[in-house]
Amino acid sequence: MTRSGVKVKCVVWDLDNTLWNGILAEGDSVAVRSEARIAIKALDERGILQSIASRNDFDAAMSRLRDEGLEEYFLYPQINWSLKSESISNIVKDLNIGIDSIAFLDDQAFERDEVASVHPEVRVYDAPAVAQLTAMDEFIPEFVTEDSRNRRAMYRAEAHRKDAKHAFKGPEEAFLRSLGMKLSMSLAHESDLPRAEELTLRTNQLNTTGITYSIDELRVLISDPGYRVIMVDLMDRYGDYGKIGLVLLSMGKSAWTIELLLMSCRVMSRGVGGVIINLLRKECARRGISLRTRFRDTGRNRMMYVTYRFAGFREMDGSSDEGLLENDLSAIPSLPDYVQLNLAPALGWFEDDICPESGMCSAGTPDVSNITRAESVWPSSARSVSCRDVCEA
């Protein structure tokens, strides 16, 4: 039942006579189905998110789930008297995932048909399917990474961020500064390849080409001196986002080309893509080489094209290479001070500007002025140096 090869990213459960036997609102002594409990835990281990669309009293239903030890498994539960299609729309919006990656379980044919009529992309299943759910191909990821296993916790942390943002009084940049974000970039290693492949398979909106790469293809690229496969990690005071980005660079003598840039939708509002693009612009300008990038319209990644255009990328005049853009490397803005940037030494960026012995930057090199000091001793794993901390430039 896979559609266009898309795996299920979120299972939305009905409650009465689906997740549990009985009807809560009618006073039944409901009991969670053993096969449902097994499925919930197995799906969670695989990194598949779960939510609820149920016609019930919210407090009563959540209390029952809490008594059963299952409350924590469900993100943005929609327990109300609205149409199930509306509940699914809200879940998709809150999770910021594609609606074609949603599966819906309900014992009532009317409810399944109502959802299917409004959201034909959603996969719908009758309640008895719960017993076979974890064996179905669409519910079996290609692999399970550490980020997969932590996905629910990461989304819960994001819910706390949303609550904090809603309560925050002040401009957007001030809120971002309050998060204390730390962005790390390092070369991919063998242990990173499953997550790197997963990112190319799962990321659609913030993906510049939509081209997927297998572990074997990525393994070849990390061994090729003409390429760099770069993993991007992000954390803040609410927790670790995990490995949320991937950059594939081809390294020509006169030009670098971004073959692929992608970011998890979870960091869409954090400005991470712009930080990485401007970091690459600064580094290429410093080296006196050109910066190019590829863009391939997938029908879902328009935002990335807009991001590139705002960053100064334009179609190359006279180029026969369709989708190849070039940056003029002018008017490059300073990197924002609300992000602490940690660059792994193996990247080789800013090597001429920063001395590992002293942590001093060369005078007149503002390109690194906002890379903040994280440690007083030069770390072996990442550079974290601030010009403003150690010199007057």
pLDDT per residue as tens, the chain (393 positions): 345 568 899 999 999 999 999 999 998 899 999 999 999 999 999 999 999 999 999 999 999 999 999 999 999 999 999 999 999 999 999 998 889 999 999 999 999 999 999 999 999 999 999 999 999 999 999 888 888 899 999 999 988 998 999 999 999 989 999 999 999 999 999 999 999 999 998 888 899 999 999 999 999 999 999 999 999 999 999 999 999 999 999 999 999 999 999 998 888 788 899 999 999 999 999 999 999 999 999 998 999 999 999 999 999 876 666 789 999 999 899 888 899 999 998 888 864 443 333 333 333 333 444 443 332 222 333 333 333 332 222
Determine the Cα–Cα distance for residues 295 and 322; give it in Å rounded to an integer. 9
Q: Which long-range contacts (CB under 8 A, 24 or more apart) does 309-317 make?
A: 310/274, 311/274, 311/277, 311/278, 311/281, 312/281, 316/292
In 24-149, alpha helices (H): 34-45, 58-67, 84-95, 109-118, 146-149
- Of 4, 200, 10, nearest to 92 by C-alpha is 10
Question: What fold, for 10-139?
Answer: Rossmann fold (3.40.50)
**Residue 320 confidence (pLDDT):** 64
**Residue 357 confidence (pLDDT):** 39
Label the pairing between strands 49-55 and 10-13. Answer: parallel
**Residue 318 confidence (pLDDT):** 65
CA 18 to chain centre: 31
**Residue 38 confidence (pLDDT):** 97
Q: Token pair 């006196």 is at which residue? A: 288
Per-domain boundaries in the chain = 10-139, 146-349
**Six-digit token pair at 61?**
């239903």
The overall pTM is greater than 0.75: no
**Six-digit token pair at 355?**
């001395």
When the candidates are 3.30.200.20, 3.40.50.720, 3.90.1150.10, 3.40.630.30, the CATH number that belongs to 146-349 is 3.40.630.30
300 Cβ neighbours under 8 A, 6+ residues apart = 98, 204, 205, 207, 210
**Residue 385 confidence (pLDDT):** 33
**Domains 10-139 and 146-349 agree in fold:** no
Q: Are 207 and 365 in contact (CB under 8 A)?
A: no
Determine the Cα–Cα distance for residues 272 and 255; give it in Å rounded to an integer. 23
